Structure 1
Amino acid sequence: MPSAAPSRTASGSTTPLLSETTALDVESGSTTPRTPGSSTPRTPKERTPLPKFQLFILCLVMLAEPVNYTQIFPYVNDMCLRLGYARSEKEVGFISGLIDSLFAIVQLFTIIHWGRLSDHIGRKPVLICGLCGGTFATILFGFSRSLWLTILARLLNGALSGNLVVCQSIVSEITDETNEAQGASFPTSPLPAPTSSDCAAAFALISLMWAIGVIVGTSIGGTFSRPAEQLPWLFGTPFWETHAYLLPCLLAACISALACVSALLFLRETHPRKLAEQSLRRQLKQVQAGKGVLGTALSYGTISEHEPGEVGPMRPTIRELERQAREPAPAKDKPMSYAQILRSPGVAKALASAFMMMFINQAWDVVFILWAYTSIRLGGLSMSPLELGYCLASAGAVGACIQMFLFPRIQRATGLVLYPWLLAIVGLQFAGAPVLHWWVSLWGVDRPRGELVPSTYVGAVGLLWLGRVAAMIFPLNFIVLKKVAPSKSTVASTYGVAQVCTAAARALSPWFVSSLFAVSVQHNLLGGDLMWAVMLLLTAGAVAFTWDLSKRVREVERAREEREQEGRVES
């Protein structure tokens, strides 16, 4: 059959047929040009151009949440004592653990709805809402001088922080198997010969920005808390003495505000259904203006006299385009219910693993801050907020390098087998902390806060750097979730369910480990080391549970491939 000829407009110019122009694959979310009769948009090995500027804006958006979340870590224990939230150093763990948990507690009940909402109204509006809310809540936290206002600010910050699940969805939608490696190596040159395992690289970008956020947030919190004392030549006024923890909150809020403005002006919508609607609306406007792909010769429901039907396939009429614009989403693109997602093969195992992974890692992050701040006599290291902030920032820098350069190569070589081994590394941290305290106590248990022997810094930084190696499990967990996700059209909903599990872990873990540490110190249980022993046992259990995770994921992938093959044969 001869190919369809281009239509001629009243001015004599030619415009291609709609079937020859860019078509939007609603099912897959692809915007790749296709020609009639083509079954795939491009050859598998052709590399899709990477939207680097969009990735840059997305990185700025992803930076805001970890900065807001971590900037309180260096000073939260000092804040509880200074503002009278805790009556003594022994009780600090109960209050600071509560404050740390509140962010994740409320996020537990809201994160899945943010992901679901982004599946319906698009990714960009949800991101903007989260950034605005985070900016306001962080400023409110800085002005708070009562426990109840501090709690309210932390609750608001958690309730309005749904951006991570949306960012995960955007990364999935703007990358494919040909450029996911570029997404991770951005802004460096592309990695050669991308394979399906290169999705590790694209998702490592999320962990990379979290690591950078830790650097920025903890540096801000450690350097600019109590500015009237640490920087008296700039902030030696009664206002900054009264609001001793406002300055780091203001700086963190500025980063959120900058990310919000950048996303509002430059970030593009990536949701497949929204892209389909935008494409159809553009086509309709072009047709109605007489400049579109149909030309001016096509009327409502009629065939152009310049273009007989036998020259090619019938083109859609204006009424058909209007109907598609009103109902752009095919039925099979509708989001699955939560029950359907949970019943999908491999999802329950992946969600349980995500919960354990987050619980163990969050427990270490929280208890290290409390333990390092606690005096040596009570089992800690007696660090000042400034020293603690610098130690955490150095760990964030190491983590950024690991995520950018080391993780993609290790993951390509090992695959998901790496998952339980990374959990085991956290067990080494729990075992090493009491050893470091024993060593530090040999040099005296009554040393003033902040006046530590050099070996204290070496040991503390070593434990933190070990944790950055273990943090490679976070992008690995994203890969697990992507591989077991039921369908492409429910990516955000699947990540939302996973975020509920990890938010539950982030809610329970700080309170559990901080309270257990405080009880161990108060009652000298197991020589004050009961908390370390309990967390070591829990880590061992998590390693045992996730030992066969990679095998389960491979089974899910094989089953999906078999179903797809059967579907192709039937069609």
Structure 2
Amino acid sequence: MISFGLSKTYAQVIISRSIAGFLNGNAGVVKTMMAEMSDDTNRAILFTFLPVAWISGFTIAPFIGGSLQHPAQRFPAYFDHPFWREYPYFLPCLVAASFPILAFFIGIMFLKETNESVRRVPRGATYGSVPSDDRFESTPRHPSTPSLREAMTKPVVIAIANYAAFAIINISLFAVFTVFLAVPLHAGGLNLPPQVIGNILASLGGVSGATQFLVFPRVHKRFGGKKTFTFSVSLSFLQLACFPIVREVTLIYPRSWIKFAIIGVMMVIWSIYDMGLVRSIFLFITAASPSPSLLGRLARAFGPAAATSLFALSVKHDWLRGYGVFLCLSLAPVVAICLSTLLPNGVEARTSRDGSA
């Protein structure tokens, strides 16, 4: 984050973002830890708390970025200095960098190992005791670990394929959404200022968090993971249709509140869509695959580049009046719905059968 805030060229921005992506391996670790501390009786409820950190960051970070950018212009009484004028985005990056530093110290002090196969326990030690020597005994839980070839069974491949489709849809929509809000009207966007965009993204995080905590456990219990996932994928068609609608409304009524009402509808749709996709597919992944993260990361790397490039090409070459990108992106949900038909009907039932086998 510090490097990103100090970047002055496009190459420096790319390098800083690449470093951030290279060091962003915590998501897979957290999901694995939560899977190790849960079972099929409480996993759906426990995974509801998984997005706490993500939603908190998704809500707070846009507000920080939109409010603290260009501090020399916004807060001249405190930041009227050549440094802040030369690096207008360093202040929000500095504030954002304080969060992983805090998380590092919290992890050092309080985070405990959940994988019993690698955890080392002092001989004869009880809770709160201090070992007097370096003799340790291990507490293996799984006597053997399957190889990659043995782990790539049909359920694993299906779960990974659905996760990859989800990653492409989710990250592509978000990448286009942020660009769509910022670029000028003549370039295919809404031309909103950074502070307004930050407030919109912060509101999206709040709405998504409330939906996932209040709605997902009941919906998953009532309909199951497969139906919830398939329905959520189908909502992406409605989400894609909202993009050209809100822009046409903005062109006709540039100062009207209607565009913000449509954006609000998009946020509600997105929260329901995200609820089913993120939470449901994680349950299938946990039940089916020990390490599905690689393909998901490749999809997340491919999604933003492809989506934003399609957006630029649609506007430049006037594909369907600049809306061709949304038609192209609608192909991804079609593929995802087809793949979702291959998912098992019940995650918990299949897990129980596998455990008894």
Tell me the TM-score normalised to structure 2 length.
Answer: 0.91
Distance in 2, matches of 1:425 and 1:362, equals 15
Which residue of 2 is the match for residue 359 of structure 1?
Answer: 168
Q: 1:338 aligns with which of 129, 143, 148?
A: 148
Provide the C-alpha distance between the structure 2 equivalents of 1:281 and 1:359, rounded to a whole number of angstroms: 50
Match of 2:222 in 1: 413
Cα distance between partner residues in 1 of 2:279 and 2:69: 32
Query: Where does residue 460 of structure 1 map in the other structure?
Result: 263
Equivalent residue pairs, number: 352
CA 538–430 in structure 1, closer or farther in 2 if over 3 Å, else same: same
1:157 corresponding residue in structure 2: 20
Are the counterparts in 2 of residues 208 and 403 from structure 1 also a CA contact under 8 Å? no
Give me the whole-angstrom Cα distance separating, in 1, the residues matched to 2:104 and 2:355. 40
Aligned to 1:380: 189
- The change in CA–CA distance for 1:349 and 1:552 in structure 2 (over 3 A counts) is farther
Aligned to 1:526: 320
Given candidates 537, 540, 543, the residue that maps to 2:334 is: 540
Aligned-partner residue type, residue 506 of structure 1: R
2:65 to 211, 215, 221: 221
1:262 aligns with 2:72: no
Q: Deviations over 1:3-53 (max 9, x none)?
A: xxxxxxxxxxxxxxxxxxxxxxxxxxxxxxxxxxxxxxxxxxxxxxxxxxx
Q: Indicate how the Cα distance of structure 1 residues 256 and 554 shifts in structure 2: closer, same or farther if over 3 A, else same.
A: closer
Q: What letter corresponds to residue 249 of structure 2 in structure 1?
A: W
Superposition CA RMSD, Å = 2.4
> Is 1:249 aligned to 2:53, yes or no?
no
Paired residue type of 1:348: V
Map Cα deviations across residues 35-79 of structure 1 (whole Å, 9 max, x no partner).
xxxxxxxxxxxxxxxxxxxxxxxxxxxxxxxxxxxxxxxxxxxxx
**In structure 1, what residue type is equivalent to 2:158?**
K
User: 1:281 offset after TM fit, Å?
Assistant: 7.0
Report the Cα offset of residue 377 of structure 1.
2.3
| Deviation, structure 1 residue 289 | 7.0
Q: 1:222 to 1:523 in 2, by over 3 A?
A: same
> How far is 1:215 from its partner?
0.4
**Match in the other structure for 1:397:** 206
* In structure 2, distance between residues paired with 1:439 and 1:352: 37
Aligned equivalent of 1:174, options 37, 52, 57: 37
What's the CA shift for 1:435? 1.2
What letter matches 1:207 in structure 2?
P
Match of 1:500 in 2: 294
Deviation sequence 1:252-289 (CA, Å, 0-9, x none):
111111111111122222221243x2143748xx9x97
Aligned to 1:470: 273
CA distance in 1, matches of 2:59, 2:273: 17
Paired AA for residue 433 in structure 1: F
Alpha-carbon separation, structure 1, partners of 2:347 and 2:48:
19
8 Å Cα contact 1:346/1:556 also seen in 2:
no
The structure 2 residue matched to 1:278, chosen from 118, 121, 128, is: 121
The 2-side partners of 1:476 and 1:404 are apart by 13
CA contact (8 A) 1:219 1:389 kept: yes
1:51-450 counterparts in 2 under 5 A?
Answer: 138-176=1-39, 196=41, 198-275=42-119, 277-280=120-123, 282=125, 325=137, 329=140, 332-342=142-152, 344-416=153-225, 417-444=227-254
Q: Which amino acid aligns with 1:542?
A: A
How far apart are residue 474 of structure 1 and its match? 0.7
Amino acid aligned to 1:230: R
Match of 2:310 in 1: 516
- Distance in 1 between residues matched to 2:132 and 2:322, nearest whole Å: 77
SS of the residue 1:278 aligns to? strand
Letter in 1 for 2:73: E
Q: 1:328 deviation in Å?
A: 5.5
1:474 aligned partner, one-letter code:
V
Q: Is contact 2:159-2:285 (8 Å) kept?
A: yes
Shift of 1:141: 1.0
Tell me the distance in 2 between the aligned counterparts of 1:335 and 1:213: 35
Q: CA deviation at 1:483?
A: 1.8
2:234 alignment partner AA: A
| Distance (Å, rounded) in 1 between the aligned partners of 2:47 and 2:340 | 20
- Say which SS state the counterpart of residue 273 (structure 1) adopts: coil
Q: Which amino acid aligns with 1:199?
A: R
Structure-2 separation of matches of 1:176 and 1:535: 36
Alpha-carbon shift at residue 209 of structure 1 (Å): 2.4
Q: Distance in 2 between matches of 1:548 and 1:241?
A: 55
- 1:488-517 per-residue CA deviation (whole Å, 9 max, x = no partner) reads xxxxxx2xx321121111100100010000
CA contact under 8 A between 1:222 and 1:388: conserved in structure 2?
yes
Q: Which whole-Å deviations, capped at 9, do the CAs of 1:189-237 have from their partners, x for residues lacking one?
A: xxxxxxx2x4222112112321121001111111111122222232222
Please say if residues 358 and 506 of structure 1, whose CA atoms lie closer than 8 Å, have aligned partners that are also in contact: yes
Whole-angstrom distance in 1 between the partners of 2:122 and 2:305:
49
**1:145 partner amino acid:** K
The TM-score with structure 1 as length reference comes to 0.58
Instruction: Classify 1:170/1:557 alpha carbon distance in 2 versus 1 (closer, same or farther; 3 Å).
Output: closer
CA distance in 2 between counterparts of 1:384 and 1:289 reads: 61
Give CA deviations for 1:468-494 in whole Å, capped at 9, x if unaligned: 111112121111112224xxxxxxxx2
- The residue number in structure 1 matching 2:285 is 481
- Identity score, percent: 24
Max Rg structure: 1
Q: Which residue of 2 aligns with 1:88?
A: none
CA offset digits 1:329-386 (Å, max 9, x no partner): 47x53433222221x3400000000000111011110101111112222321111111
What 5-or-longer segments of structure 1 have no aligned partner?
1-137, 178-195, 291-320, 445-451, 486-493, 564-571
Q: Is the 8 A contact 2:283 2:347 kept in 1?
A: no
